[in-house]
């Protein structure tokens, strides 16, 4: 398979950007899948529980809120509460950066002051706001590591939650 990018020179700033954003997209998908697996496990195990919403949440914030509630209120999930309390805020923080990069528009294809700048439009009911978002060279190593850790830690917790609840279904 050839993944040549027309007009993109190997080693160029734009190739670096494409690789970085591509990494964020792919790794985030793997990491967020663990939240989906935990939510699915809870819905299967506690089907009909009136404290659960009627539909599974689709977006990050409601998934995190549901899992926080479940870890604190459902006795069978109590063994995972501390780990969930540590892990879920990490998803929220990394998800914010992911959303800013993925839903922002690159404003310059060259690195300026050791960062790429995106413009993000925040759409609100009565006003819209355009703001800059930066992918800074100095933050990249930690962002990359955190996305890898979220994938590993999230999948580990999701598997253990599934294993503990599968006998209820």
Report DSSP state, residue 112.
Answer: B
SS3 90: helix
148 Cβ contact list (under 8 Å, min separation 6): 27
- List, for the chain, all residue ranges whose pLDDT scores fall below the cut of 70: 1-2, 169
Give the pLDDT score at 169.
Answer: 60
Give the pLDDT score at 1.
Answer: 66
Contact between residue 139 and residue 72 where contact means Cβ atoms under 8 Å apart: no
Report DSSP state, residue 128.
Answer: E
Give the pLDDT score at 139.
Answer: 94
Structure tokens at 57: 């949440």
Give the pLDDT score at 42.
Answer: 93
Q: What is this structure's pTM?
A: 0.88
Give the pLDDT score at 51.
Answer: 82
Exposure string (b/e) for 88-122, b if CB count within 10 Å is 16 or more?
Answer: bebbeebbebbebbeebebeeeebeeebbbbebee
Give the pLDDT score at 151.
Answer: 97
Give the pLDDT score at 111.
Answer: 86
Question: Could you read off the pLDDT of 95-123 as tens digits, one per residue?
Answer: 999 999 998 888 877 888 899 888 888 88
């Amino acid at each position: 398979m050839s993944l040549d990018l027309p007009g993109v020179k190997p080693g160029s700033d734009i190739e670096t950007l494409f690789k970085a954003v591509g990494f964020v997209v792919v790794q985030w998908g793997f990491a967020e899948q663990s939240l989906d697996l935990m939510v699915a496990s809870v819905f299967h195990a506690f089907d009909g529980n009136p404290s659960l919403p009627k539909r599974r949440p689709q977006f990050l914030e409601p998934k995190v809120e549901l899992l926080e509630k479940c870890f604190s209120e459902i006795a069978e999930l109590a063994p995972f509460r501390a780990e969930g309390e540590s892990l879920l805020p990490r998803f929220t923080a990394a998800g914010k950066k992911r959303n800013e990069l993925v839903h922002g528009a690159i404003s310059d294809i060259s690195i300026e002051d050791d960062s790429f700048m995106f413009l993000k439009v925040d759409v609100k009911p009565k006003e819209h706001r355009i703001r800059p978002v930066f992918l800074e060279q100095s933050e990249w190593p930690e962002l990359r590591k955190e996305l890898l850790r979220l994938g590993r830690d999230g999948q580990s917790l999701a598997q253990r939650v599934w294993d503990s609840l599968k006998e209820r279904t």
